[in-house]
A and B are shown apart, each in its own frame.
Chain A
């Protein structure tokens, strides 16, 4: 099998492509499949240059004659690739953190999506927020994070369940010692009855936000409902003991999950001299698991992406995050996210029940985004 990879870059996460490739190659090596997969790799930078991405995808498909295209890109640049992928007929796996979601969930036949379900996690977290007695909330985000639809997912779910956003806060500060939350602090101070904050912050500003909120005199009353990057181990470990307020949210994976597949994930990476896994290593590992499944399909033409997709729809696999399956309606891989609550210096986590996840997924995909949408073109976390 010949695989073309459009890999990402990020100034904030400089190892993103290395970690993704570590996950991909290490899994295949461990399965004895590495020699069976030829890889042609090209970088698409932050993923925002449509012409560059198109040209590179075209080269991989037409000149390198790859069988499967792995593209670490966001949905905004997918539109322009669609005619090319349709004409090629080959399988494309779109990989990203999942901070955006499609305006139309009916998929193209030969395109599937693997993500960290970031926007869906935000949706579920907002559903939890809407269960609070206090139905009003602040929506807080960074200038960067609010350019992705995970912000819309959180607000939409909160509204749908009877909640009301009473203040929109967008932080445009640098992520350094000058970081301040003056306007947010003023609003909290002047509106004592508002306790809930729906937050979408990347890991670095999340740490700064937690730190600044701790400085407020009445921060004990606050309940933060947060996006997945705000639950990253590096952020939480440094905040859990000091946070005076409650933090809760969903994410699909944590390095600390105690399941056999996650243990194996850590062990194999360690045995191969790789560093501890990250969300990007996870995405590489899972991509390799999908490739492994494809290689095990009998009597299939690699030129027929749609038939491969139809076969994958009936296959489940055990990822380090738990069981995953390809949703037949949307062609997005789904897993059961984990709910975390940080309160009084302790972290409590549990995996959501399948029935709840599937119910919320149906609600999530049945709320089409209409009208004009603005936002960042580059892949989430690639900046």
Chain B
């Protein structure tokens, strides 16, 4: 059986568990990382130092010929993309030396196409987030599906936690594809059902902001988790102060009446947390916040001049 040599393209930590397993199975040939991903370059360089596996630092203007040369020079015969900043042209993924070139997407396809499916799966409270491996085509995330596996969502998972779980799942799935190539099996695939396709753009400021008038407490908790840690929380405003909520949970207290409170109004200060009224007479317990002064328990707001009855509002 022919030795497998993989070209791995990564821009984030998502590819690291797969890279670890490829090193262990001695199938990793070259790693390509965009030049602007300095932290990842540093981390991968440190991790691969003992193994002598080359790392290509890629620039948007000339990464295509660099990859072409690498495929030929290092006798690469299989390619994986795990979260990569540049669009890969067909001249690379259809290279004659390759037995396959696959994108590993940290979301369920075709329902979660786009740049950040982890954020969308948490924000939309997807019960079964997952990883999809598909063939590369010109259109982003639209290639035929080879393999997909889902996990049971934990409502309390932050972006960071789900990201890591999906990264481990991705490593399991890439191992299956590598084994199939090693056994000289043809990799079957199935076209995506375009009727179910949804594309999400990279989230902008409006998508990480709490709208107290339309979001209930569960939706707010989901958004808070989806913004932790990368955005330092979901964004809201208290008078003129910008507040990012990092940790919050649905709160229940039959003795606490929300009848005279509007969504976003503070009802209660506890030792560390505060309780806020939400849509449909719901309650939200805010535990951790980020403000210009630093990371704090939410109850810090009382010492900054905020009291029961003060109201959080939208940033726009």
Task: Identify the A interface with B (CB < 8 A).
Answer: 50-51, 54-55, 79-80, 82-84, 86-89, 103-106, 108, 329
Contacts and interface: CB of A to CB of B under 8 A. Distances in A.
A83 B147 contact: yes
Contact of A51 (B149, B185, B190): B185
B189 A83 contact: yes
Interface in B145-166: 145-152
A121 B242 CA distance: 55
Contacts of A329: 152
Given A89-B190, A106-B128, A80 B150 contact: no
Interface in B123-182: 128, 130, 145-152, 169, 172, 176-177, 179-180
Nearest to A371: B168
A312 B187 CA distance: 29
Nearest to A329: B152
B183 interface: yes
Given A51-B185, A89-B190, A104-B169, A83 B180 contact: yes
B50 interface: no
B190 A82 contact: no
Contacts of B128: 106
A105 B172 CA distance: 14
A82 B147 contact: yes
A82 B177 CA distance: 10
Contacts of A104: 149, 151, 169
B246 to A, nearest CB: 27
B52 interface: no
Contact of A106 (B152, B184, B187): B152
Nearest to B128: A106
B149 A108 contact: yes
Interface string B108-135: 0000000000000000000010100000
A79 B180 CA distance: 10
A79 B146 CA distance: 12
A87 B176 contact: no
Main secondary structure of the interface of A (DSSP, over half): helix
A82 B176 contact: yes
Interface string B182-212: 0111011110000000000000000000000
Please provide the 6 A-B residue pairs with the shortest distance between their CB atoms, ordered closest to farther: A87-B188, A51-B183, A87-B190, A106-B150, A83-B147, A79-B176
Given A83-B177, A86-B145, A106-B150, 19 more contacts: A54-B180, A55-B185, A80-B176, A80-B179, A80-B180, A80-B183, A80-B185, A82-B147, A82-B149, A82-B176, A83-B147, A83-B180, A83-B188, A84-B188, A86-B188, A86-B190, A87-B189, A88-B188, A105-B152
Given A79-B176, A106-B128, A54 B183 contact: yes
A113 to B, nearest CB: 16
Contact of A86 (B148, B152, B179, B184): B148
Main secondary structure of the interface of B (DSSP, over half): mixed
A130 B152 CA distance: 29
Contacts of A103: 172
Contacts of B130: 106
Nearest to B185: A54
A105 B128 CA distance: 11
A54 B185 CA distance: 8
A55 B183 CA distance: 10
A319 B122 CA distance: 41
25 contacts: A50-B179, A50-B183, A51-B183, A51-B184, A54-B180, A55-B185, A79-B172, A80-B176, A80-B180, A80-B183, A82-B147, A82-B149, A83-B146, A83-B177, A83-B189, A86-B145, A86-B146, A86-B190, A87-B190, A103-B172, A104-B151, A105-B152, A106-B130, A108-B149, A329-B152
B147 A86 contact: yes
Nearest to B130: A106
B253 to A, nearest CB: 28
A209 to B, nearest CB: 36
Contacts of A105: 152
Contacts of B183: 50-51, 54, 80
B115 to A, nearest CB: 24
Contacts of A108: 148-149
A108 B190 CA distance: 14
Nearest to B176: A79
B308 to A, nearest CB: 39
A82 B148 CA distance: 9
Contacts of A84: 188
Contacts of A87: 146, 188-190
Interface in B232-254: none
Contacts of A86: 145-148, 188, 190
Interface in B271-293: none
Interface in B214-264: none
Given A104-B169, A106-B128, A83 B187 contact: yes
A86 to B, nearest CB: 6
Interface string B70-111: 000000000000000000000000000000000000000000
Contacts of B149: 82, 104, 106, 108
Contacts of A80: 176, 179-180, 183, 185
Contacts of B169: 104
A108 B173 CA distance: 13
A104 B190 CA distance: 22
A331 B117 CA distance: 26
B151 A106 contact: yes
Nearest to B183: A51
A56 to B, nearest CB: 12
A86 B150 CA distance: 13
A92 to B, nearest CB: 13
A241 to B, nearest CB: 48
Contacts of B148: 86, 108
A84 B145 CA distance: 11
A369 to B, nearest CB: 12
B146 to A, nearest CB: 5
Nearest to A52: B183
A105 B153 CA distance: 12
Nearest to B175: A79
